[in-house]
C-alpha cells in the first residue's frame, strides 16, 4: 500500500491507516469471497421470492379450476 499506511507486525494481510487509525485488510481473495457470499445470499432470496410467487399463482389457478368444475357439475 502507499505511504499513508503502516504494516501490522505479524500480519502481512493487515495495515493501519495512519490518518484514521483504521486497520485495513489487503486480502483481496477474502474480499472477493465476502462479496460473492453476499451475491449468493441475494440470489437465494430472489429464488425464494420467485418460488413463493409461483406457489401463490398455482393456488389461484387451483382455486379457479375448482370453481369451474363446481359450476360445470351444477
The helices-and-strands tally (H runs, E runs) of the chain is 1, 3
Q: How many domains does the chain have?
A: 1
Q: What is the pLDDT of residue 2?
A: 58
Domain that holds residue 54: 5-73
> Binning pLDDT at 50, 70 and 90, where does residue 3 land?
confident
Contact 15, 8 (CB under 8 A): yes
pTM: 0.64
Query: Is the separation of the CB atoms in 8 and 17 below 8 Å?
Result: no
**pLDDT for the residue numbered 73:** 79
pLDDT, one tens digit per residue, over 17-62 is: 999 999 999 999 999 999 999 999 999 999 999 999 999 999 999 9
Amino acid at each position: 500500500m502507499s505511504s499513508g499506511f503502516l504494516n501490522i507486525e505479524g500480519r502481512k494481510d493487515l495495515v493501519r491507516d495512519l490518518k484514521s487509525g483504521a486497520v485495513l485488510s489487503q486480502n483481496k481473495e477474502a474480499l472477493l469471497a465476502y462479496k460473492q457470499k453476499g451475491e449468493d445470499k441475494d440470489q437465494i432470496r430472489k429464488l425464494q421470492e420467485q418460488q413463493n410467487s409461483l406457489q401463490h399463482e398455482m393456488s389461484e389457478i387451483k382455486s379457479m379450476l375448482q370453481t369451474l368444475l363446481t359450476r360445470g357439475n351444477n
